[in-house]
Amino acid sequence: MAVRVLDAEQWQALESERSAFIMPWLESYRERRAKRLSHPVHDFLFKYYQMNRQTLSRWRPMLDMRLEGEAPAVFLEDERYRRFDDGVGLNTSALLERDRERVEWVRNLIDRSLERPPRFGCYGLHEWAMVYKADSVRHEQTPLRLSPSEIETVVESTPIHCTHHDAFRFFTETARPLNAVQPGREDRADNEQFGCVHFNMDLYRWSYKMSPWIGSELIDDCFRLAIDARILDMRASPYDVSEYGYEPIEIETAEGREKYRGEQTIIYDRGQPIAKRLLAECERLLR
């Protein structure tokens, strides 16, 4: 593994840039919580993906980084870091067995999913299946842009092929039999594929669950991808998110489905190099 040796000016600049990026997201979420407000698009990144926000706010080096000078001594309070001849970096000898098992699980999931051809014909119908003939909806403060009967018509007239367990488990009981597959928790590696918008979002989850072994540089790239994937997710949903500045993608029309497919492909293309980088980091840790 080639090592990047960063002097104090270099790594502290990365730390500052990172803070300028992530802190507005954290502060906005904190302000909404204080006012008991919700954002159906952005809050998903904090409520569903429950990373400790204090941990998220702190910059952490990647595995291949060494930090020069005395300032990195603050990292040495954590036994997962040590001082090398060329600077402070991650101490992989402190990788616990439970950490290794998680890394192996994520590596296997990503590796097998990368080998599977992507599917681009789901049209985001998972969000529709979550409100199909439902007594209540998840985003109660956000209105639906179609009536319940119109939503039923869309769901019943369009084939559903959701491969993502964490989306499928929120389908209504009446919607589940309409799905072409029945993805379970234990068979993720047999079903997941990177055409899925939610699975690309999950790269953020897997990266932060391996913190600090996965540093902020890669976690932030996963976070950025998750933001845009979530925006696409809700634009194509039956919810009206125009109040939040997002134009709906009307997947109930042929034009809307084609637009969704194009946006979905963009997420896929962006996610592939990020997924491969995360896979490579897992393999480095296991070595």
C-beta atoms surrounding 273 within 10 Å: 10
pLDDT at residue 150, as a whole number: 95
The predicted-structure confidence for 229-286, as pLDDT tens digits, reads as follows 999 999 999 999 999 999 999 999 999 999 999 999 999 999 999 999 999 999 999 9
- pTM beyond 0.85: the answer is yes
Of 185 and 4, which is predicted with more confidence? Answer: 4
User: C-alpha angle 64/219/124, rounded to 5°?
Assistant: 140
**What pLDDT score does 287 carry?**
87
Which pLDDT tens digit goes with each residue over 207-216? 999 999 999 9
pLDDT of residue 139: 66
Strands 4-6 and 65-67: parallel
Strand 87-90 vs strand 4-6: parallel, antiparallel, or unpaired? unpaired
Average pLDDT score, the chain = 93
Whole-number Å distance between alpha carbons of 226 and 98: 26
Q: Report the distance separating Cα 238 and Cα 158, nearest Å.
A: 14
Asked whether the predicted pLDDT for residue 52 surpasses 80, the reply is no
Quote the CA–CA distance of 276 and 281 in Å, as a whole number.
Answer: 9
Query: Which whole-number Å values give the CA distances from 51 to 26, 201, 215, 220, in the listed order?
Result: 11, 14, 14, 13
Residue 67's nearest CA partner among 119, 120, 10, 106 is 10
Q: Count Cα atoms within 13 angstroms, Cβ side, for 51.
A: 27
Tell me how far apart the alpha carbons of residues 107 and 128 are, in angstroms, rounded to a whole number. 31
Question: Would you kindly state where each structural domain of the chain is located, as residue ranges?
Answer: 4-120+188-286
What is the rounded distance in angstroms from the CA atom of residue 57 to the CA atom of residue 22? 7
